Amino acid sequence: FPDHFFQHWSGYNVMAPLHDPVPVMALVPQFYGYYQPEDPLPDYLSPILLLEHCGVPIDVDTLCADDRNECASLLLRFHHEGWLHNSFAERNILVQAGPITDWPLGRMFSDKYSFRLIDFGRSAKYERSLDRAAEESEMARLLKLMHFAET
């Protein structure tokens, strides 16, 4: 993935077809490394994939419109780089209180949330814009945005 998927930026961006600006944070969990023992012992040490803890899966019905737009922007940014997720669902968007870069105790009392997109096992570069459009329509339905918004 491109470096900017992992970067924490400060500021807002408008991701078409959304009309409201959304925060531009890291899109995917931070990767801290893959570690394996130099001298593995049989049946004891296993390799470790160390990733950022990003919270729990979202519940769309508890999110405000701004948070749903931010979740949508994750997929739209993914698409902008030419990727299809192919498994966009509530379980694959994680939420955690506060900016993930803040101290954990400070996040507990924050009224802001951080979101990350996960599970890229089915992801692939897209070749047809129709595939992208279909996934974005599913995104709008799932997140109750645009013509799927509840009034």
CA dihedral 15, 71, 62, 144 (to 10 degrees): 60
Which residue do the tokens 């902008």 mark? 80
The pTM of this model reads 0.86
Give the distance, in angstroms, between the CA of residue 19 and the centroid of all CA atoms in the same chain.
19
Cα 81 to Cα 120: distance, rounded to the nearest angstrom: 14
The 10 Å Cβ neighbour count of residue 16 is 7
Counted domains in the chain:
1
Residue 106 falls inside a structural domain: yes
Residue 35 falls inside a structural domain: no
CATH of the domain at 129: 1.10.510
Could you list the residue range(s) of the whole structural domain that residue 118 is in? Answer: 64-151
Residue 70 falls inside a structural domain: yes
Which residue do the tokens 């004891």 mark? 44
What Rg value do the Cα atoms of the chain yield, rounded?
A: 17
Closest among 143, 100, 91 to 121, alpha carbons compared: 91
pLDDT beneath 70, residues of the chain: 40, 151
DSSP assignment letter at 55: -
Report pLDDT for 74.
96
Report pLDDT for 98.
82
Residue 2 falls inside a structural domain: no
At residue 3's C-alpha, the angle toward residues 10 and 110, to 5°, is 35
Cα 62 to Cα 29: distance, rounded to the nearest angstrom: 22
Cα 27 to Cα 5: distance, rounded to the nearest angstrom: 5
